[in-house]
Amino acid sequence: EQRKMRRTVPRSTLRKIIKKYKPQLRLAANADLLVHLNFLLFLHRLAEEARTNAFENKSKIIKPEHIISAAKVL
């Protein structure tokens, strides 16, 4: 039986991380930080997958079809 390990992080730590790596991102006081972090991680994975798709198609430009196929994978 595999157990999921749960890790809790103080909100202040998450705010510092966001402020360090995404200073342009403004969060409301009541914002759920984990939702924002999950969304940012999703966008990062989407960008990486789209880049991979473009590379596999020997394209130097990431086109909409690369992003759409990446979104389907994720």
How many domains, the chain? 1
Residue 2 lies in a domain: no
65 is a domain residue: yes
Residue 74's Cβ-side half-sphere holds a number of Cα atoms within 13 Å equal to 19
48 domain-assigned? yes
Angle in degrees, CA 31, 37, 53, rounded to 5: 140
Overall pTM surpassing 0.85 (yes/no): no
Write down the pLDDT at residue 64: 84
Residue type present at position 27? L
- pLDDT by residue, tens only, the chain of 74 residues: 455 555 565 667 777 877 887 788 776 767 777 777 788 888 888 888 888 888 888 888 888 888 888 888 76
DSSP 28: -
Cα-Cα-Cα-Cα dihedral sign, residues 41, 42, 47, 48: positive
CATH number at residue 40: 1.10.20.10
Neighbours of 66 (CB within 10 A): 20
